[in-house]
Amino acid sequence: MEFEPMEDFDQKLKRSFERWPAPPDLKRRLMENRRRRKERPQWFALPFAVRVAVSLCLLAGVLAALYGGIAANQAEQRRKGEEARQQVLLALRITNHALDHMNRQLAAHNRAHQE
């Protein structure tokens, strides 16, 4: 009978039951982790009212930014439109002036021909 494999198993078992000293900074690291976890705000740990308030504030911020962007864009469009409007009015005035001068000139020529 051979008991060698059994002895080998016994050895392994003994070794695994042996008490190993913990790394020197293990406790510090564990405590550190625990402290950090406690410090981190837990969204669902907050009261419902606070969560609603924070959500509303965020929503209001996003909406305000969106509205501000749209309003700024509209103001820019209005400014460009007003500039173009003034240019159109000036163009119409110059056109009218040219047409008026042409009419005067043609009328003067007609009068000269009649005379």
Partner 1 sequence: MKSWIVAFVFAAAALAVPALAQTAQLPAPPPVEKDLAARASSVDEITLSKNMLAAAAALFMNSKDKDEAATSQLVERLDGIYVRDYEFAKEGQFSIEQIEQLRKYFETSDWTPIVRDRDRKTGESSDIMVKMVNGKSSGLFILDVEPKEISIVLILGPVGMEELGKLKELAFLGIMEGTHHTGPDNSK
The stretch near partner 1 (CB under 8 A) out of 36-44, 47-55, 63-71, 100-108 is 100-108
Closest CA to 63 of 55, 73, 75: 55
Between CA 71 and CA 31 the distance in angstroms is 52
Q: What amino acid occupies position 29? A: R
Q: Which is nearer to partner 1, 58 or 102 (CB)?
A: 102
We find the least distance from the C-beta atom of residue 70 to partner 1, in angstroms, to be 16
Q: What is the DSSP secondary structure assignment for residue 25, as one 8-state letter?
A: T
Smallest gap from residue 74 Cβ to partner 1 (A): 11
CA–CA gap between residue 102 and residue 93 (Å, rounded): 14
**CB contact set of 54 (below 8 Å; sequence gap of 6+):** 46
Instruction: Name the minimum Å distance from CB 99 to partner 1.
Output: 6
Using CB under 8 A as the binding rule, the residues of this chain from 40 to 99 that contact partner 1 are: 77-78, 80-82, 84-99
Token representation of residue 72: 């700024």
Q: Which of 9, 105, 114, 115 contacts partner 1 by CB under 8 A?
A: 105
Residues of the shown chain interacting with partner 1 in the complex, contacts defined by CB under 8 A: 77-78, 80-82, 84-102, 105-106, 109
